[in-house]
Structure 1
Amino acid sequence: MTAVVTQGERADFRPRRARVVGFGFAIGLVVVMVGMSIGLSFAPDSGWQRQDSVFAVVFAVLCAAVLVRLVSVNARVTDEALVVRNVVFTREVEWGAIVAVRFGGADPWLTLDTDDGENLAVMAVQRADGEHARAEALRLARLVEERAGR
């Protein structure tokens, strides 16, 4: 059985609110640290030296990189599988291996039950996104039904 999947149904799953807040905070952090470093380097008797500025900016960029990684979680739909990219690990789960899609209770994000007995968090669908997250959970459940031939 071949399911017809439209481009909208194949769209990647991504969090909304976390991405806006995370990217905004990352940019703001770098801008503030660069501004502080420039301001303190010109302040008389501040004791701020060039290496302090370099360290502050490098630290801000590293923190921003961690934030960007945290909010860059996603789940990509392919013909054969769902590729789930969480904060640390990326896992490809074949459609037929997904037993259930759960999104309820107090769970902060969607969870997939797989045929090997594992539970896989899909951090791309987050409760903080409210109605959008519920719609995305339903979309994923429909995709699993269609793609797994159930």
Structure 2
Amino acid sequence: MSTPAEFPVTWAPRRTRAVLLPVCALLVVMFAVIAVALPANWQFNDRVLMVLSGVLFAAAGLMLARPRISADAEGVTVVNFVRSRRLAWAEIVGVNFRQGDPWASLDLADGTSLAVVGIQSGVGKAQAIADARALRDLVHRHGH
């Protein structure tokens, strides 16, 4: 059984983060260097906008590195690209991760579903399946 023995537990695409965080830092540095190296006929405002462009691209990269899902005794916290949501165990009816899905999803008691981007197939299908099963086991154990 792949269920974690103790709380809290967090699932996140760690390799994605390991790549994106240094790339984001590199983007800011690279755009700052470009701003300094621009020809003399470029205005100060142009240079500032060049640095801000690097910061903007880095912010987008950091958003992509954000997804995760954390579980504790009271429920789960799903953090996706922009939003996060806290759910009690009783609110979660099921965990789905069908073949071809980019990430897992939660079926909720109110009839809706919620994407769980923190468990995604893009970083390893076998690991994503094991993580979804572990989450499903926790939902069955604590949700009923």
TM range (shorter): 0.7 to 0.9
Question: In structure 2, how many angstroms separate the alpha carbons of the residues matched to 1:108 and 1:74?
Answer: 14
Count of equivalent residues: 140
Question: Which residue does the alignment assign to 1:27?
Answer: 25
Q: CA RMSD in A?
A: 1.9
Question: Which residue does the alignment assign to 1:12?
Answer: 10
Superposed CA offset, 1:30-61 (max 9, x none): 12111111222xx4xx5223221111111211
Question: In structure 2, how many angstroms separate the alpha carbons of the residues matched to 1:142 and 1:36?
Answer: 51
3-state secondary structure, aligned to 2:141? helix
Q: Percent identity?
A: 34
Question: Which residue does the alignment assign to 1:69?
Answer: 63
1:109·1:125 contact (CA, 8 Å) conserved in 2? yes
Question: In structure 1, how many angstroms separate the alpha carbons of the residues matched to 2:142 and 2:26?
Answer: 42
Question: In structure 2, how many angstroms separate the alpha carbons of the residues matched to 1:17 and 1:125?
Answer: 12
Question: Which residue does the alignment assign to 2:132?
Answer: 137
Where has structure 1 moved over 3 Å in runs of 4 or more?
none
TM-score by length of 1: 0.83
1:17·1:128 contact (CA, 8 Å) conserved in 2? no
Question: Which residue does the alignment assign to 1:113?
Answer: 107
Question: In structure 2, how many angstroms separate the alpha carbons of the residues matched to 1:39 and 1:56?
Answer: 11
Amino acid at match of 1:144: V
Question: What runs of 5+ residues in structure 2 fail to find an aligned partner?
Answer: none
Question: In structure 2, how many angstroms separate the alpha carbons of the residues matched to 1:129 and 1:76?
Answer: 18
Give the greater-gyration-radius structure (CA): 1
